A and B are shown apart, each in its own frame.
Chain A
Amino acid sequence: DAGVIQSPRHEVTEMGQEVTLRCKPISGHDYLFWYRQTMMRGLELLIYFNNNVPIDDSGMPEDRFSAKMPNASFSTLKIQPSEPRDSAVYFCASSLRGLHNEQFFGPGTRLTVL
């Protein structure tokens, strides 16, 4: 298996622009997670899905952030409008049958908002 695939790997944009991060989970996995990692705040769980349905979005920082999972093999995290404080590494992870099982992380997308 190719593992969790994220794109792009690096994104540089200007403040106010829309940013879309993409994730393809491991085939057959039914849970998908989005995380944000910064030096100041560490690793934060933003949202997770089960069978394409959002279960817990309490970590989404504000309305500028939105996430979708239109099918079992694709998810997006969108920031509109982006701000410099959104600069971070965003990870997608997937797992099989729940939070108690191993999460497999993608390589991350490094986002820089100027």
Chain B
Amino acid sequence: GDSVTQMEGPVTLSEEAFLTINCTYTATGYPSLFWYVQYPGEGLQLLLKATKADDKGSNKGFEATYRKETTSFHLEKGSVQVSDSAVYFCAVVSYNFNKFYFGSGTKLNVKP
């Protein structure tokens, strides 16, 4: 069945470091891909999305490219800030089956 696999956390970085959080998916058809972020004590909010192969989603300095050949949607940011400390969730919607799956989440800690 469809699924999403994220790298395990927590990820601890110093401020201004480069961030990569890996996400791979298994889905039939042509899924849409998402990254959501959850700040402490809050609900999730959409960070970025991509709906077709080679699309690049971007927001707040974060980017992710829809790679159909490797079934991946890795999240990157060139220079993280303390305020980026949160839990990041990769998610996939399988268009054929209208199902929605979240990954397990990756906690990011950014130290000053």
| A→B interface (CB under 8 Å) | 4, 33, 42-43, 45, 48, 55-56, 91, 93, 99-100, 102-108
Contact = CB atoms under 8 A, between A and B. Distances in A.
A103 to B, nearest CB: 7
B81 interface: no
Interface residues of B, number: 19
B42 interface: yes
Nearest to B98: A99
Contact of A93 (B32, B43, B105): B43
A102 B100 contact: no
Contacts of A91: 43-44
Nearest to B51: A100
Given A55-B98, A56-B99, A102-B49, 20 more contacts: A4-B43, A33-B100, A42-B104, A43-B89, A43-B102, A43-B105, A45-B100, A45-B101, A48-B100, A93-B44, A99-B99, A100-B32, A100-B95, A103-B44, A103-B46, A105-B43, A105-B44, A105-B45, A106-B43, A108-B42
A22 B52 CA distance: 36
Contacts of B89: 43
A62 B100 CA distance: 20
B93 interface: yes
